[in-house]
Chain A
Amino acid sequence: SQQGEEDPQALSIQEGENATMNCSYKTSINNLQWYRQNSGRGLVHLILIRSNEREKHSGRLRVTLDTSKKSSSLLITASRAADTASYFCGTDSSYKLIFGSGTRLLVRP
């Protein structure tokens, strides 16, 4: 089963711009994780935010979590062409990870 939705489904930006992706989910969670997937490959873990945290940073990534709205956002600052990929949020509520629908990000050089 799929936990929730991400928006936008697709995002095209110019290199150097910021990219913001949103994720909504349905059930209570232990934590929320963001992953990146290059075409035809597995997922790579980017960042994890626990249910009692509201914001977290890692390099050019900033994640927020609003448990009252059951939503999260991922901000990639100063995007690069190499950031082109699909991004998925995964929610952990029973020690298994359920993924949202994903956002396909295209960063134009």
Chain B
Amino acid sequence: GAVVSQHPSRVICKSGTSVKIECRSLDFQATTMFWYRQFPKQSLMLMATSNEGSKATYEQGVEKDKFLINHASLTLSTLTVTSAHPEDSSFYICSAREGTAGDSPLHFGNGTRLTVT
């Protein structure tokens, strides 16, 4: 089945530094990837839709200058948390849609737990 690889799985960084998270579709091409954020015991909040070769579409309330998304190829999207602060500590999960049909399921990475000290 379709596999999405997310790296790193855990990262601890100091306040003020930037962190890059990678999301790769291993055996399929993904024109669209999605980035979610999840707080403990809560639902996934959609942050942005990443489109290959174009700018990401951010959800209301998500700072695009803080959460930089780049989708440079059909198999790789990256999320960079810039100037991280403790309140950015969270579980970040990417997902990718195989194909372009709107009714195809999403394939999720295993998430990245970010801790900002």
Contacts and interface: CB of A to CB of B under 8 A. Distances in A.
Interface of A: 1-2, 30-31, 33, 35, 40-45, 48, 50, 88, 90, 92, 95-102, 104
Contact of B34 (A31, A97, A100): A97
B44 interface: yes
Contacts of A92: 102-103
A30 B103 contact: yes
A42 to B, nearest CB: 3
B103 A45 contact: no
B54 interface: no
A104 B40 CA distance: 12
Contact of A2 (B4, B32, B45, B110): B45
Given A42-B93, A42-B110, 19 more contacts: A30-B102, A31-B103, A35-B108, A40-B91, A40-B111, A40-B113, A42-B108, A42-B109, A45-B105, A48-B105, A50-B103, A90-B106, A92-B102, A95-B32, A96-B46, A98-B46, A99-B43, A100-B43, A101-B43
Which of B32, B102, B105, B106 has the most chain A CB atoms closer than 10 A to its own CB?
Answer: B105
Contact of B44 (A40, A43, A50): A43
B85 interface: no
A92 B4 CA distance: 20
If over half of A's interface residues share one DSSP class (helix, strand or loop), that class is named, otherwise mixed; here it is strand
16 contacts: A1-B60, A31-B103, A41-B110, A42-B110, A42-B111, A43-B95, A43-B106, A45-B106, A48-B105, A50-B103, A88-B44, A96-B49, A97-B95, A99-B43, A100-B43, A102-B43
Given A1-B60, A30-B103, A92-B103, A43 B108 contact: yes
A90 B45 CA distance: 11
Contacts of A96: 34, 46, 49
A44 B108 CA distance: 7
B102 A95 contact: yes
Contacts of A102: 42-43
Contacts of B49: 96
